[in-house]
């Protein structure tokens, strides 16, 4: 039986365009969070069989028409600080709206607070709402335009603005973006912010990069004030606007605020899903800057499919910092042991500089 093509409708304007083009049936329509209270006469002229409405505002007459005609309606869930059916990825401006009143006033902080409260209550409604939200984010991420290969940049959130390692990560992100790659990070502060910042500065000269770094160094960390840290980032982004690639943060680590430089932010509740999406999409390779437990987890999560995979499925994994990964956090010796006599041996690399890392990416 042939599959029915579906159409994602995520705005009232899109809905009106399809209707104006002569649509007579809603079969295959997936309508997400669209306000349709004033479109009841239009809806009643369309065959509803096979349609799905997710969190849309509908009059009762329209709801009855859709249900009786074979459509599905997922109702809005009340008292949530987020839309579980959203059709778009986040932006920094959305997550940090209201920042002038303090970080606690922003949607990002309020959603994190909600997730912590619901975890403590063990409310199954939280599980459902969070799962619906993360499904919507995954769907929006899959629809992200562009065909640039993704290159993952991982690293610790503790690297301070103004540190040499931060500057190195900025230059790495800029180099990768200038080569036409989509820089993808875990979306937090430190090395992740630096890589997204570098990607956003791809069209700027060295003097602009230095100016941006100097401005950010005035607020080196998100501690003690997330508001001051985020405001400094937003100010720099306003001066030097650009496409900072993609970031995939999580409210599971809500104490790590999202950086403002990614052009598209796919923020999840589930850290496991977020990690899987981030690592599986980075087919151009993954670069690891120094980091702690989270970065080590990401290394071995990416190593596993390489370990069991064939030549075609290998993803280049590049660790930067010979002393760090062999002495301070001795991951490299274990990787070498695992790679012995395995196909993945050729996909593992340990280098000391971002230039060496970039050359490996481009050679692959």
Q: What are the pLDDT digits (tens) for 138-171?
A: 999 999 988 899 999 999 999 999 999 999 999 9
Same domain, 213 and 161: yes
Question: Which tokens belong to 89?
Answer: 């990825």
What does the angle CA 70 – CA 72 – CA 76 come to, to the nearest 5 degrees?
A: 155
Give mean pLDDT, residues 294-314. 93
pTM of the model as a whole: 0.93
Same domain, 299 and 348: yes
Same domain, 100 and 167: no
Residue with tokens 């060295």: 206
Structural domain of 29:
7-74
CATH number at residue 282: 3.40.50.450
Strand partners, 25: 47
Residue 135 in any domain: the answer is yes
Residue at a domain's end among 15, 46, 74: 74
Query: Taking 90 as the threshold, does the pLDDT of residue 125 lie above it?
Result: no
| pLDDT at res. 230 | 98
Query: Taking 60 as the threshold, does the pLDDT of residue 64 lie above it?
Result: yes
Same domain, 154 and 131: no
Same domain, 137 and 156: no
Query: Taking 90 as the threshold, does the pLDDT of residue 241 lie above it?
Result: yes
**DSSP states along 137-156:** HHHHHHT----PPEEEEE--
What does the angle CA 149 – CA 152 – CA 154 come to, to the nearest 5 degrees?
A: 170
Residue 12 in any domain: the answer is yes
Average confidence score pLDDT of the chain: 94
Residue 53 in any domain: the answer is yes
Same domain, 31 and 97: no
| Lowest mean pLDDT segment, chosen from 210-224, 235-249, 350-364 | 350-364
Q: What is the share, in percent, of the chain residues with pLDDT greater than 90?
A: 88
Q: What is the share, in percent, of the chain residues with pLDDT greater than 70?
A: 97
Same domain, 61 and 96: no
Helix (H) or strand (E) holding 286: strand 286-288
Query: Taking 70 as the threshold, does the pLDDT of residue 358 lie above it?
Result: yes
Residue 206 in any domain: the answer is yes
Question: What is the number of other CB atoms lying within 10 angstroms of the CB of residue 122?
Answer: 8
Give mean pLDDT, residues 173-191. 96
Question: Over the stretch 15-55, which tens digit does the pLDDT of each residue have?
Answer: 999 999 999 999 999 999 999 999 999 999 999 999 999 99
Same domain, 264 and 204: yes
Question: Over the stretch 242-298, which tens digit does the pLDDT of each residue have?
Answer: 999 999 999 999 989 999 999 999 999 999 999 999 988 999 999 999 999 999 999
Same domain, 206 and 116: no
**Cβ(52)–Cβ(66) under 8 Å?**
no
Give mean pLDDT, residues 54-83. 95
Query: Taking 50 as the threshold, does the pLDDT of residue 1 lie above it?
Result: no
If one compares 349 and 120, the residue with the highest pLDDT of the two is: 349
Residue 82 in any domain: the answer is no
| pLDDT at res. 279 | 86
| pLDDT at res. 364 | 65
Looking at the structure of the chain, the number of domains it has is 3
Exposure class string for 323-336: b at 16+ Cβ within 10 A, else e: ebbeeebebbeebe
| Lowest mean pLDDT segment, chosen from 76-80, 173-177, 246-250 | 76-80
Cα distances (Å, whole numbers) of residue 205 to 127, 161, 178, 191, 273 = 46, 19, 12, 21, 37
Residue with tokens 């065959």: 47
| pLDDT at res. 118 | 65
pLDDT confidence bin for 6, thresholds 50/70/90: confident
| pLDDT at res. 4 | 63
Residue 28 in any domain: the answer is yes
Same domain, 137 and 157: no
Peptide bond into 136 cis (omega under 30): no
Same domain, 31 and 63: yes
Same domain, 231 and 302: yes
In sequence order, which residues have a C-beta less than 8 Å from that of residue 149 and are 6 or more positions away? 180, 181, 182, 283, 284
Question: Over the stretch 99-114, which tens digit does the pLDDT of each residue have?
Answer: 999 999 999 999 999 9
For 53, phi then psi, to 5°, come to -115, 120
DSSP state of 343: G
Question: Which tokens belong to 119?
Answer: 């975890």
Residue 284 in any domain: the answer is yes
Strand order, beta sheet including 52-54: 7-9, 29-32, 52-54, 72-74
Strand partners, 90: 265
Residue 85 in any domain: the answer is no
């Amino acid at each position: 039986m042939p599959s029915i093509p579906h159409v994602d409708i995520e705005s009232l304007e899109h809905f009106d365009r399809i209707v104006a083009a002569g649509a007579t049936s809603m079969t295959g329509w997936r309508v997400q969070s669209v306000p349709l209270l004033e479109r009841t006469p239009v809806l009643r002229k369309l065959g509803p069989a096979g349609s799905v409405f997710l969190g849309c505002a509908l009059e009762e007459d329209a709801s009855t028409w859709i249900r009786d005609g074979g459509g599905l309606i997922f109702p809005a869930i009340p008292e949530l600080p987020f839309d579980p059916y959203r059709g778009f990825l986040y932006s920094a401006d959305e997550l940090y709206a209201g920042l002038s009143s303090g970080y606690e006033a922003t949607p990002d902080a309020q959603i994190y607070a909600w997730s912590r409260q619901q975890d403590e209550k063990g409310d199954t409604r939280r599980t459902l709402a969070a799962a619906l939200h993360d499904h919507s984010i995954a769907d929006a991420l899959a629809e992200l335009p562009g065909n640039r290969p993704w290159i993952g940049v991982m690293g610790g959130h503790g690297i301070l603005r103004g540190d040499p390692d931060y500057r190195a990560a900025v230059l790495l992100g800029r180099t990768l973006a200038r080569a036409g790659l989509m820089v993808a990070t875990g979306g937090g502060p430190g090395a992740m912010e630096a890589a997204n910042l570098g990607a956003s500065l791809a069209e700027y000269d060295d003097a602009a990069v230095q100016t941006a770094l100097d401005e950010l160094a005035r607020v080196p960390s998100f501690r003690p004030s997330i508001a001051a840290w985020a405001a400094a980032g937003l100010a720099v982004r306003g001066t030097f606007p650009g496409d900072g690639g993609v970031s995939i943060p999580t409210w599971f680590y809500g104490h790590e605020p999202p950086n403002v430089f990614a052009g598209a932010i796919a923020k999840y509740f589930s850290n496991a899903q977020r990690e899987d999406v981030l690592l599986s999409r980075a087919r151009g390779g993954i670069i690891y800057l120094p980091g702690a437990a989270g970065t080590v987890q990401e290394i071995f999560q990416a190593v596993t499919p390489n370990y069991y995979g064939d030549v075609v499925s290998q993803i280049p994994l590049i660790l930067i910092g010979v002393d760090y990964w062999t002495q301070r956090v001795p991951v490299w010796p274990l990787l070498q042991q695992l790679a012995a006599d395995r196909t993945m041996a050729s996909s593992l690399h340990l280098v000391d500089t971002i230039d060496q890392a970039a050359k490996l990416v481009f050679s692959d």
